[in-house]
Amino acid sequence: MDFLLKKEKPTTNKNKGSSTGFYGFGLDLSSPVESVMGSIETESNEEDYLTGLTTMFKELPLFFVNISKVNGIMCTKNIIVQWVVESVGEGVHEVVEGDTVIPFFLPDCGECTDCLSPKSNLCSKLPFSVSPWMDRDGTSRFTNINGETLYHFLFVSSFSEYTVVDIAHLTKIDPATPANRACLLSCEVSTGVGAAWKTAKVETGTTVAIFGLGAIGLAVAEGARLCGAKRIIGVDVNPDRFEIGKKFGVTDFVNSRNCGDKIVSQVIIEMTDGGADYCFECVGLTSLVHEAYASCRKGWGKTVVLGADQPGAMLTFSSFEVLHSGKTLTGALFGGIKPKTDIPLLIKRYMAKELQLDKFVTHEVDFKDINKAFDLLTGGKCLRCVIWMNK
């Protein structure tokens, strides 16, 4: 059952950087964060208005970060925020000064075949890549105090009080939404919930297996719970995740390091008498994609890949296996959600006390304590930490 559409129907580069993988770009935390931040020039650039492509903001109330190891470098992998529009460029009609908005990394131009189709969130006009530039014109809008170019990050660039974002990366939201909750929908919670709701289309009474109970996996559980899944099996190497998972509807837990002489997929096939209806890989390991695929039921089982493995990591399936299993394997960038329409819908479901966002926020810090927030995340001590810019 579609928990969102049940109540309300949604209304309806040239990049110079080379992609090093989904999250191959980021902030090198070996440099003090303050020194990176302190050098951003926040004055508006007249060109922004002339291009008619950009939107500028004031009052960045908070942003939210999560980090992971990418090729050995600690990178910000999500910067999710809620902002207030300061001014708009020519040709921007969707938002006006003073609007409350959420930015997102995945473009939604609203014009191309894919953006116009309800079946896809993969824009063709501004195809997603990991780039240090604005995606429409391949330039940067930032300089430091010496006039040197600073790079954008995932088209959002929120480690500053002001930024410039293409209108394809923004959606307007209800300003009554608490900022420290709305920001969660800028990336990961939307991704996980969307994967269950939009990509898998989890049905009432079904069984779901989630590999990895980080924020993405827990958001999948939340989406599956809202869709009416009967049984939600969480798989993780950290046993603490089961207690946390219960808050989001996880009913069973499998510690993949504690399966005796069995592999995880054998355990799940036994638990479900033939395999789960839906499996989600939420870690970023191809080996787990294979386990997830093996854990879903022949004939109709569907496996959704959310995790981002190293660039070039390969999946291998025999054609016999594919032919005879009748299973579906698909990826879900941003959970398959169409950000401009689906994020405001998710906010409505939060305001209606259906979607649980509160439990994802385990810590809140001021900007001066940003390094503490990174420590909490790398230490696995928090699910999501909200960082306030100007509380």
Binding interface with ligand NAD (CB under 6 A): 23, 66, 68, 77-78, 187-188, 191, 211-217, 235-238, 241, 256, 282-285, 288, 306-308, 332-334
Residue 238: contacted member of Zn ion, ligand NAD, none (CB under 5 to 8 Å, by partner type): ligand NAD
Based on the shown chain and the rule CB under 5 A, indicate whether residue 125 belongs to the binding site for Zn ion.
Answer: yes
**Comparing C-alpha atoms, which of 114, 169, 117 is closest to residue 141?**
169
Kindly tell me which of 142 and 374 has the beta carbon lying closer to ligand NAD. 374
Q: What are the φ/ψ torsions at residue 296 (nearest 5 degrees)?
A: -95, 155
Q: What are the φ/ψ torsions at residue 194 (nearest 5 degrees)?
A: -60, -35
Q: What is the DSSP letter of 11?
A: P
**First vs last C-alpha separation in the chain:** 40
Residue whose Cβ sits closest to ligand NAD: 214
Site for Zn ion in 5-24 (CB under 5 A): none
Kindly tell me which of 52 and 98 has the beta carbon lying closer to Zn ion. 52
**Structure-token pair, residue 256:** 């993949």
Based on the shown chain and the rule CB under 5 A, indicate whether residue 170 belongs to the binding site for Zn ion.
Answer: no
Q: What is the DSSP letter of 272?
A: T
Kindly tell me which of 53 and 383 has the beta carbon lying closer to Zn ion. 53
Strand 207-211, strand 278-281: pairing: parallel
Q: For Zn ion, which stretch binds (CB under 5 A), given 48-56, 102-110, 189-197, 334-342?
A: 102-110
Distance from C-alpha of 39 to C-alpha of 37, rounded to nearest angstrom: 5
Q: Least distance in Å: CB of 137 to Zn ion?
A: 16
List of residues 6+ apart from 288 with CB closer than 8 A: 211, 212, 281, 307
Residue 307: contacted member of ligand NAD, Zn ion, none (CB under 5 to 8 Å, by partner type): ligand NAD
Q: Least distance in Å: CB of 189 to Zn ion?
A: 23
Kindly tell me which of 212 and 249 has the beta carbon lying closer to ligand NAD. 212
Contact 182, 99 (CB under 8 A): no
Q: Count the residues in the chain.
A: 391
Q: Least distance in Å: CB of 178 to ligand NAD?
A: 22
Q: Least distance in Å: CB of 121 to Zn ion?
A: 9
Kindly tell me which of 89 and 284 has the beta carbon lying closer to ligand NAD. 284
List of residues 6+ apart from 141 with CB closer than 8 A: 45, 47, 48, 54, 134, 152, 163, 164
Based on the shown chain and the rule CB under 5 A, indicate whether residue 122 belongs to the binding site for Zn ion.
Answer: no
Q: Least distance in Å: CB of 7 to ligand NAD?
A: 25
Residue 123: contacted member of Zn ion, ligand NAD, none (CB under 5 to 8 Å, by partner type): Zn ion
Helices then strands, counting H and E runs in the chain, come out as 12, 15
Based on the shown chain and the rule CB under 5 A, indicate whether residue 109 belongs to the binding site for Zn ion.
Answer: yes
Size, binding site for Zn ion by CB under 5 A:
5
Kindly tell me which of 166 and 281 has the beta carbon lying closer to Zn ion. 166
Kindly tell me which of 56 and 183 has the beta carbon lying closer to ligand NAD. 183
List of residues 6+ apart from 57 with CB closer than 8 A: 83, 84, 85, 86, 101, 162, 163, 165
Residue 302: contacted member of ligand NAD, Zn ion, none (CB under 5 to 8 Å, by partner type): none
Neighbours of 334 (CB within 10 A): 25
Kindly tell me which of 5 and 237 has the beta carbon lying closer to ligand NAD. 237
Based on the shown chain and the rule CB under 5 A, indicate whether residue 70 belongs to the binding site for Zn ion.
Answer: no
Residue 351: contacted member of ligand NAD, Zn ion, none (CB under 5 to 8 Å, by partner type): none
Neighbours of 313 (CB within 10 A): 13
Q: Least distance in Å: CB of 120 to ligand NAD?
A: 14
Distance from C-alpha of 226 to C-alpha of 4, rounded to nearest angstrom: 9
Neighbours of 190 (CB within 10 A): 27
Residue 350: contacted member of ligand NAD, Zn ion, none (CB under 5 to 8 Å, by partner type): none
Q: Least distance in Å: CB of 124 to Zn ion?
A: 6
Q: What are the φ/ψ torsions at residue 33 (nearest 5 degrees)?
A: -60, -40
Residue of 115, 156, 193, 370 interacting with Zn ion (CB under 5 A): 115
List of residues contacting Zn ion (CB under 5 A): 109, 112, 115, 123, 125
